[in-house]
Amino acid sequence: MQYKIALAGSSQYTVMMAKILQKDPRFEICYTLSPTPKLIGRQQVLTKNPLQGWSEKENITSFSVEKKIDDTLRDQLSIASKIDFLLVVDFGYLIPSWLLKLPKIAPLNIHPSLLPKWRGSSPGQFCLLFRGLGQENAQSAVTIMIMNEGLDQGPIVAQLTFNCKANWTQKEYYQHAFTLIAEKLSDLINDLADKKIKIQKQPVESPTMIARRLDKEDSFIDWQDLQRLMDTNLEKVHSLRDDNKLLNNLLVDNEVCKDKAEQIKLVINASRAFSPWPGLWTNVKTNHGEKRMKIFSCHANKNQLILDQVQIEGKNPCLFNECKNALS
> What pLDDT is attached to residue 14?
98
Question: What is the arithmetic mean of pLDDT over 60-82?
Answer: 95
Phi-psi region of 52 (alpha: psi -120 to 50; beta: other; left: phi over 0): alpha
For 184-203, give the DSSP string: THHHHHHHHHTT-S--BPPP
Task: Find the length of the chain.
Answer: 328
Query: Residue 287 — very low, low, confident or very high, per pLDDT cuts 50/70/90?
Result: confident
pLDDT in tens, 300-313: 999 999 999 999 99
Domain 1-104: homologous superfamily in CATH:
Formyl transferase, N-terminal domain (3.40.50.170)
| Vertex 160: Cα angle to 25 and 207 (nearest 5) | 135
CATH of domain 216-326: 3.10.25
DSSP run (H or E) holding 316: none
- 2 or 1, which is more confident? 2
Of 96, 97, 86, the C-alpha closest to 33 is: 86
Domain ranges of the chain: 1-104, 111-213, 216-326
Average pLDDT score over the chain: 95
Is domain 111-213 in CATH 3.40.50.300, yes or no? Answer: no
Do the two domains 1-104 and 111-213 of this chain adopt the same fold?
A: yes
Question: What is the arithmetic mean of pLDDT over 209-227?
Answer: 95
Of 32, 6, 256, 36, the C-alpha closest to 130 is: 256
> What pLDDT is attached to residue 42?
79
Phi-psi region of 224 (alpha: psi -120 to 50; beta: other; left: phi over 0): alpha
